Chain A
Amino acid sequence: MTSQSPLLSVHDLKVEFPLDEGTVKAVDGVSLDVYAGQVFGIVGESGCGKSVTMKAMLRIVEPPGRITQGKILLRRFNGKDGDTVDLATLDPNGKEMRDIRGKQIALIPQEPMSSFSPVHTIGDQIMEAIMLHQTVSEKEARRIAGQLLRDVGIPMPEQRLDEYSWQLSGGLRQRAIIAMSLSCNPLLLIADEPTTAVYVTTQAQVLRLLRNLQLQRNAAIIFITHDLGVIAQMADYVTVMYLGLVVEQAPVDDIFHNSKHPYTQALLESIPTVNMTPRMNLPTISGSIPHPFNKPKGCPFHPRCPKAIPGKCNTHIPKLKPISEKQAVSCFLYHEEEIA
């Protein structure tokens, strides 16, 4: 999988929101590589920048937020292999970006309720996406839309095309969203907490559906969530974020069984699992996530970190460095280098 060049490669991405109260560095130097056929998980708690990273990839960061640094390289599929485009330099409203958005990179949003227009039928909305990116007749678009609904396991797809989103249950609506995002055979699917709004039984259905579709189409999925259970079951490769920084990147098995960063370790310990002794005190991470306006100096995790090194962690930001072939971590515990 790693032999080829990455499908999407983010280099040192920074997104800032200049506000009256000060500048919020929502994403503060994130690098990641996503390969075709991979489920790439991004985990983090609120405010870690996972959603803003996703929005930057699609170039839909709301003003005043803007990308101040970094590259987002996408390998295009219409050109020759290796033909890459830097999304960060494109005009967010320009033709080229609009062509990529929805066609090569598609989004599965978090809220299935608010993502559909309530005054247009499901079919019209899916057909709109198809006809925007492909030169097909309306009749053909309708046929494709029906097929898509069938692919995602919606019963009676022909009838559903003429229904409105509010007539569908939560699970069906989430499936319809997935169908819409698949309408142009994207290379990269970004799923932003796709199962937070649905219950575990529906969640299991949606996750399985995504897995199967991904295998069939060999697309890459960037899977953004705060649920470590979902990540363990879905992802191949995981990035853990905290306050705009990547703290650890590793294959899923290493994240759960060989994690290096104190934050990853603490996060894993603090979740109650169905397999642990009940009623014992859970190990916790002391304190709470700092407000983005007063981010701590140095490593953002140091005030809550049990292993913080005074004079090092509170003054310098650790860089993300590989510690093995597949695992990278940004923590001074694993870096021997001197600080200038």
Chain B
Amino acid sequence: MTQTKPHLLEVKNLRKYFPIRKGFFRRVVGNVRAVDDVSLFINEGETLGLVGESGCGKTTASRCIIRALTPSSGEINFRTDKGDTVNLARLSRPQLRPLRPQMQMIFQDPYGSLNPRMTLFDIVGEPLLVNGMTDRKQRTERVAELLKLVGLRPEFMQRFPHAFSGGQRQRIGIARALALHPRLVVADEPVSALDVSVQAQTLNLLLELQQRLHLTYLFVSHNLSVVKHICDRVTVMYVGKIVETASTEAIFRSPKHPYTAALMAAVPVADPRVKTGNVELQGDVPSPANPPSGCYFHPRCAFAVEKCKTESPVQRELAPNHFVSCHRAEEIKLEGIAA
């Protein structure tokens, strides 16, 4: 939003390949290019949505960014709270340690991400303990504060996760992520596993916390309605590559990449008077181990020409802050969703 500030996070040419090994000597016979030349930035205090089909590399990319995975190559420039910029991709584990509290993660599955044998106090207090808050009384106070922050009663502290519903569990996960005053929060599909009526509560909580604590979110999701609601800017990925990045408003109103437009046309609208699904994407997502030549989207693209089959498109800035990787972005006219 405020363009004058330096970015909180800037990712340049990020790549993550997983080797495919075969035979007796486990020789590398190929690579799964889960993340293939991804560049993006996030401004402080904004929410960037990372959208794509399953298997497009959005989770791998987000995990590389917080260094849960080590990228194969590329830069991840993160501005620390002291104001200097470090390249996370190059740091060793001990070097990352002091930076970890600044980047936290909220997980998709509120059932799998909480240890059933730990109480809320242990779960939310563990990051505090690990980072040197050894005084139990102090920790109790902080955990109580965090639980209140996410809308849970501090009296619940000694209970176990099984006593809570899905929505409440997700709140526990959020409290744990916020324990160390993070600046960047990576939320990987945080509402996908929740019931519709509980999703709204969780989204409201995330928005409210962002304002109160001045958080920056990287919001990974496949649900375009949710992304439209919560994000300032959106990045669309397809088979490990970014196809389009723009402000939420611009990308929904006038998508420039045929894949983005197809995604939007596929979302079923919750109104029987609006018929959707007229533009339909044929075929399946190619495997990142054996992607097609040229533009990865060309076998499914209605606008593909000869050039698309041979030449991989380069990301261009079509309008201010509207980045597209498509040879024909200027010529073709695509329909978005009117706000």
Determine the chain B residues whose CB is within 8 A of the CB of A140 once the complex forms. none
Determine the chain B residues whose CB is within 8 A of the CB of A285 once the complex forms. 197, 200
Contact B270 A273 (CB under 8 A): yes
Contact A253 B272 (CB under 8 A): yes
- Residue A266 interfacial (CB < 8 Å): yes
Interface residues of B in 261-300 (CB under 8 A from A): 262-277, 280-282, 284-285
The winner among B199, B224, B226, B229 for most chain A CB atoms within 10 A is: B229
The winner among A234, A276, A282 for most chain B CB atoms within 10 A is: A282
Interface residues of B in 244-270 (CB under 8 A from A): 248-249, 252, 262-270
Q: In the complex, A291 Cα to B272 Cα: how many Å?
A: 32
B102, chain A: closest CB distance, angstroms: 24
- Residue B180 interfacial (CB < 8 Å): no
* Size class of the contact patch on chain A: 35 or more
Supposing A169-B284, A274-B225, A279-B230 touch, asked if A267 and B196 sit within 8 A by C-beta, the answer is yes
Q: In the complex, A167 Cα to B197 Cα: how many Å?
A: 37
Contact B277 A208 (CB under 8 A): yes
Determine the chain A residues whose CB is within 8 A of the CB of B272 once the complex forms. 232-233, 235, 252-253, 256
Contact stretch, chosen from B121-129, B201-209, B324-332: B201-209
Contact B197 A199 (CB under 8 A): no
Q: In the complex, A277 Cα to B281 Cα: how many Å?
A: 27
Determine the chain A residues whose CB is within 8 A of the CB of B266 once the complex forms. 200-201, 203-204
Contact stretch, chosen from A183-191, A223-231, A330-338: A223-231
Q: In the complex, A101 Cα to B280 Cα: how many Å?
A: 33
Contact B201 A284 (CB under 8 A): yes
- Residue A271 interfacial (CB < 8 Å): yes
Interface residues of B in 311-335 (CB under 8 A from A): none
Supposing A201-B263, A204-B277 touch, asked if A274 and B337 sit within 8 A by C-beta, the answer is yes
Contact B263 A200 (CB under 8 A): yes
Contact A201 B262 (CB under 8 A): yes
- Residue A289 interfacial (CB < 8 Å): yes
A197, chain B: closest CB distance, angstroms: 9
Supposing A208-B277, A274-B224 touch, asked if A226 and B195 sit within 8 A by C-beta, the answer is yes
Closest A residue to B273 by CB, please name it: A253
Determine the chain B residues whose CB is within 8 A of the CB of A45 once the complex forms. 195-197
- Residue A171 interfacial (CB < 8 Å): yes
Contact B167 A270 (CB under 8 A): no
Q: Name the one of A169, A199, A232 contacting B270, with C-beta atoms under 8 angstroms.
A: A232
Q: In the complex, A194 Cα to B269 Cα: how many Å?
A: 17
Q: Name the one of B224, B269, B270 contacting A268, with C-beta atoms under 8 angstroms.
A: B270
Closest A residue to B164 by CB, please name it: A288
B87, chain A: closest CB distance, angstroms: 32
- Residue A89 interfacial (CB < 8 Å): no
- Residue B140 interfacial (CB < 8 Å): no
1/0 per residue, CB under 8 A from B, across A158-176: the answer is: 0000000000011110000
Contact B197 A172 (CB under 8 A): no
Supposing A232-B272, A282-B229 touch, asked if A172 and B207 sit within 8 A by C-beta, the answer is no
Q: Name the one of B200, B226, B265 contacting A283, with C-beta atoms under 8 angstroms.
A: B200
Q: In the complex, A203 Cα to B262 Cα: how many Å?
A: 12
The winner among A204, A257, A268 for most chain B CB atoms within 10 A is: A204
Q: In the complex, A317 Cα to B273 Cα: how many Å?
A: 33
Contact A227 B225 (CB under 8 A): no
Closest B residue to A285 by CB, please name it: B197
The winner among A172, A273, A283 for most chain B CB atoms within 10 A is: A273
- Residue B54 interfacial (CB < 8 Å): yes
Q: Name the one of B199, B273, B280 contacting A205, with C-beta atoms under 8 angstroms.
A: B280
* Closest 10 pairs (CB-CB, A-B): A229-B268, A272-B229, A270-B200, A282-B200, A45-B195, A204-B266, A285-B197, A199-B53, A200-B266, A228-B270
In the complex, given contacts A204-B280, A205-B281, what are 20 additional A-B residue pairs having Cβ atoms less than 8 angstroms apart? Answer: A169-B285, A200-B224, A201-B262, A202-B284, A203-B266, A205-B280, A227-B268, A228-B270, A229-B268, A233-B275, A253-B273, A256-B273, A270-B197, A271-B200, A275-B337, A277-B339, A283-B200, A284-B197, A284-B201, A288-B166
Q: Please give the residue numbers on chain B whose beta carbons come within 8 Å of chain A beta carbons, in ascending order.
A: 53-54, 165-168, 195-201, 203-204, 207, 222, 224-226, 228-231, 248-249, 252, 262-277, 280-282, 284-285, 337-339
| 23 CB-based A-B contacts, threshold 8 Å | A45-B195, A45-B197, A199-B285, A200-B268, A203-B268, A205-B282, A226-B196, A232-B274, A253-B272, A267-B197, A268-B270, A270-B200, A272-B226, A272-B229, A272-B230, A278-B228, A278-B248, A281-B207, A282-B200, A284-B204, A285-B200, A288-B167, A291-B165
Q: Please give the residue numbers on chain A whose beta carbons come within 8 Å of chain B beta carbons, in ascending order.
A: 45-46, 169-172, 199-205, 207-208, 226-235, 252-253, 256-257, 266-268, 270-279, 281-285, 288-289, 291
